[in-house]
């Protein structure tokens, strides 16, 4: 062993991951065996359930139903203790109280790798529960039951989890696939209009950058979706989740590379959410971000005026705002600079080269961004005038 | 979408992992480019270094050397701030202060996915640093520089990290491969005799269950190893690390299954460490655990008396105790029961069916365990009389 003449062993291996994403309804009805079948194994596992308070408030019978369901399938699994109810939304990720409560419970009730932790709720709660499950015992099996449009078609079916820290979103977290995802469409019925709508922007996003047919389908179903028709929403969620899963499974599930091609419309959205103290919800901010980057793409002669008007019309028909006063040009340019830093110095932004086809660019024209903001203001004025 | 007639999308993907494990010396000499080459990339990354206090105490010039090294390679990387020195051993994993300090530093100094966190120290410190690196930004690139025999040949080259919580070892942690491992043999020279010796028991373990030739090599080099000869120790470390890496990469890197075939000698060792408040070190406890399970294997007519005496003689020659008073039969049976619970109800214990070949059993004979303890007592008396 000489200096400069070291020995090296190269460790290489591949880890296969597999999980089912189910779409069903009334999953806590005794007649529905999907969840019980998912929990079935050689031994009777202990189950620890965490519920988003927004969900338990909207479904006051949920706790009873879970207890009844557990009694009906007591030969297959057992509740370790009563479900824990945690505040929903970003609060569950900001304040580490719920996160700590879950870790404490794993120790107190002996929830280990032979058990399951089940999260029921919106994306934020699922992220937080998933992170606790990922690190206790180096990973407890975790089942996600997303209850919002956004979590059912996007965040809830993926492999990321996390909590906020140091004032930064998702500062602490891991990439750990869930054991299973069970989307229950029944929960969509009690969403307020903003939450129902919000999740649709991720579907618009994937349609615009990857699948013109899906975007056209959304355009022709925009009124029905705005009217809260259940059937097209279920179709939209399944299609959008399918595309999201394909993207995750495609190239770089744990994001070791720097590029994030699915982030169309997101750079401005992140800044906007932050500027409004999360009063503008993620999906609402993404809708505005999509409108902005589409307008920029038009100003760059990448898509036609007709294309742009169709995009803006879909967003408008669904009931999204197209502009909010916090979105000043100055703030946007600041946000772009922050995004560049976040990416480690080199900017990567997804734009549109046609409907259904995104393209990555590494520079943006400051003047055209400011012009795009002015155009959004006008779209919004027209919208309010209509 | 009908009840009991759900839609399912099956997500499957494989994630490839690759990392080099280097063996070298004097890695912080300016003339040695190994570390600098490892950090080289498109951009100049920020480096955050965490050092085990045991190491910095034994090498008072280490901090200066790191600064000099960083100056010499300022075109390749930059130190984000002064290295953090943390208490070594289990304390670094028990008290979450150091862990929290590292997370704080990632936020304060902008250590992100484009940066590196480097841990220098024994296995406990590396585990703790690795866990912080694994969860900040969902994973900062992490380089391990193990400084003890045990961490260089076993714990430091693997994919686990973690800290203790709720009084339980490694209660919080993840499976995340390091970016690279750089073993620097120079650090071995300042280890105290107990630490020098302790790491050897993992080599005895893999030899006994997997490679009779390696065990025979250890037997014939036991005296030289006990005399702290550097050359055989380097050979032992490289061979043992190689077998450990092969085991990890072999079947189930992230331990999704329940079996842990490399845990020969470990069930009793864990109990013993705990009973002595970690006064008996991991490697010392494993040596006794190996002696116990080998004796049990002999009493079960699985290996010959000659085999057993060779095993005991190697352990003895290396300077390990063969028995400590805390290892009562009663405590051992309690430990076995705890291990059974830890495995979720079904016991899996590795025993020897010949030198170089382990075999898994799912039951142990209480009476023979007690007899094995008595035999160890006698071996120890003979040892002390010698």
ipTM for this prediction: 0.93
Least confident of A194-203, A238-247, A260-269: A260-269
Q: Identify all chain A residues contacting B107, using CB atoms and an 8 Å cutoff.
A: 165-166, 168, 171
* Residue-wise pLDDT tens digits, A317-334: 999 999 999 989 999 999
**pLDDT for the residue numbered A361:** 94
Residue of A nearest to B7 (CA): A23
Please, where in chain B does CATH 1.20.1090.10 lie?
Answer: 193-240+254-385
Query: How much of chain B exceeds pLDDT 70, in percent?
Result: 97
- Residue B245 contacts A where some CB pair is shorter than 8 Å: yes
3-state secondary structure at position A12: strand
Mention every residue, 6+ apart, whose C-beta is less than 8 A from residue B9. Answer: A20, A21, A23, A238, A241, A242, A245
| Window B:22-41, CB contacts with A under 8 Å | 22-26, 29, 31-34
pLDDT beyond 70 at A340: yes
pLDDT tier at B386 (50, 70, 90 boundaries)?
A: low
Range with top average pLDDT, B89-93, B284-288, B382-386: B284-288
Mean pLDDT, residues B317-327: 95
Mean pLDDT of chain B: 94
Out of 3.40.50.300, 3.40.50.1970, 3.50.50.60, 3.40.50.970, the CATH code matching A21-190 is 3.40.50.1970
pTM, to two decimals: 0.94
- Given this model, what pLDDT does residue B3 score? 47
B235 touches chain A (CB under 8 A): no
In the predicted model, what is the mean pLDDT of residues A379-384?
90
| pLDDT above 70 for A259 | no
Query: DSSP states of A25-49 as a string?
Result: S-TTSTT--HHHHHH--SS--EEEE
User: Hey, which residues 104-123 in chain B have their CB within 8 Å of chain A?
Assistant: 104, 107, 112-114
Q: Which chain A residue's Cα is nearest to B253?
A: A15
Query: Given an 8 Å threshold on Cβ–Cβ distance, is B138 in contact with A162?
Result: yes
pLDDT the model gives residue A3:
46
- Per-residue pLDDT band for B244 (boundaries 50, 70, 90) equals very high
CATH superfamily of A193-240+254-385: Dehydroquinate synthase-like - alpha domain (1.20.1090.10)
Task: Please tell me whether residue B344 adopts helix, strand or coil conformation.
Answer: coil
Of A114, A172, A345, the CB nearest to B136: A172
Identify the three-state secondary structure at position A211: coil
CA atoms of B55 and B62, how far apart (whole Å): 8
- The reported pLDDT for the residue numbered A261 is 55
Tokens of B298: 């002999």
Of B16, B43, B238, the CB nearest to A345: B43
Residue B221 has pLDDT above 80, yes or no: yes
pLDDT, mean over chain A: 94
- pLDDT exceeds cutoff 80 at B205: yes
**Residue bearing tokens 């089912």:** A20
pLDDT for A4 beyond 90: no
User: What separation in angstroms does the CA of B324 have from each of B316, B374, B377?
Assistant: 14, 12, 8
* pLDDT tens digits along B145-176: 999 999 999 889 999 999 999 988 899 999 99
Give residue B67's pLDDT band: very low, low, confident or very high (50, 70, 90).
very high
CA distance A306 to chain B (A): 35
Residue whose tokens read 């779209």: A379
**DSSP code string of B50-110:** EEEHHHHHH-TTHHHHHHHHHHHTTTT-EESSSPEEE--TTHHHHSTHHHHHHHHHHHHTT
Are B51 and B15 within 8 A, CB to CB?
no
Contact A11 B177 (CB under 8 A): yes
Neighboring chain A residues of B142 at a CB cutoff of 8 Å: none
CATH 3.40.50.1970 in chain B: give the residue spans. Answer: 21-190
**What would the pLDDT profile of B270-306 be if each residue is shown by its tens digit?**
899 989 988 999 999 999 999 999 999 999 999 999 9
Q: Is the dihedral of CA A217, A223, A226, A230 positive or negative?
A: negative
């Amino acid at each position: 062993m000489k200096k400069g003449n070291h020995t090296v062993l190269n460790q290489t291996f591949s880890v296969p991951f597999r999980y089912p994403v189910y779409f069903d309804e009334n999953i806590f009805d005794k007649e529905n065996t999907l969840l019980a079948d998912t929990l079935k194994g050689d031994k009777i596992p202990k189950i620890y359930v965490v519920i988003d308070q927004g969900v338990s408030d909207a479904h006051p019978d949920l706790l009873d139903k879970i207890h009844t369901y557990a009694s009906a399938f007591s030969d297959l699994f057992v509740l370790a203790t009563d479900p824990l109810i945690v505040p929903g939304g970003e609060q569950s990720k900001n304040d580490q109280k719920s996160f700590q409560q879950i870790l404490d419970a794993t120790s107190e009730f002996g929830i280990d790798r032979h058990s399951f932790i089940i999260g029921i709720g919106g994306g934020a709660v699922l992220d937080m529960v998933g992170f606790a499950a990922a690190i206790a015992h180096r990973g407890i099996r975790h089942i996600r039951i997303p209850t919002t449009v956004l979590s059912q078609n996007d965040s809830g079916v993926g492999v990321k989890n996390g909590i906020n820290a140091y004032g930064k979103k998702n500062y602490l977290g891991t990439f750990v696939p869930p054991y299973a995802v069970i989307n229950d469409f029944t929960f969509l019925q009690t969403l307020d209009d903003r939450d129902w709508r919000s999740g649709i922007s991720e579907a618009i996003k994937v349609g615009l950058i990857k699948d013109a047919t899906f975007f056209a389908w959304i355009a022709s179903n925009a009124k029905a979706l705005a009217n809260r028709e259940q059937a097209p929403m279920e179709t939209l969620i399944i299609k959008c989740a399918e595309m999201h899963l394909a993207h995750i499974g495609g190239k770089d599930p744990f994001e070791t590379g720097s590029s994030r091609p699915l982030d169309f419309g997101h750079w401005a959205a992140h800044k906007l959410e932050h500027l409004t103290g999360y009063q503008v919800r993620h999906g609402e901010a993404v809708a505005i971000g999509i409108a902005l980057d589409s307008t920029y793409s038009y100003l760059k002669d990448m898509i036609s005026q007709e294309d742009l008007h169709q995009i803006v019309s879909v967003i408008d028909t669904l009931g999204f705002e197209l502009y909010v006063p916090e979105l000043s040009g100055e703030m946007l340019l600041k946000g772009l600079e922050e995004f560049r830093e976040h990416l480690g110095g080199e900017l990567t932004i997804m734009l549109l080269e046609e409907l259904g086809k995104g393209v990555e660019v590494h520079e943006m024209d400051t003047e055209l961004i400011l012009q795009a903001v002015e155009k959004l203001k006008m779209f919004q004025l027209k919208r309010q005038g209509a």
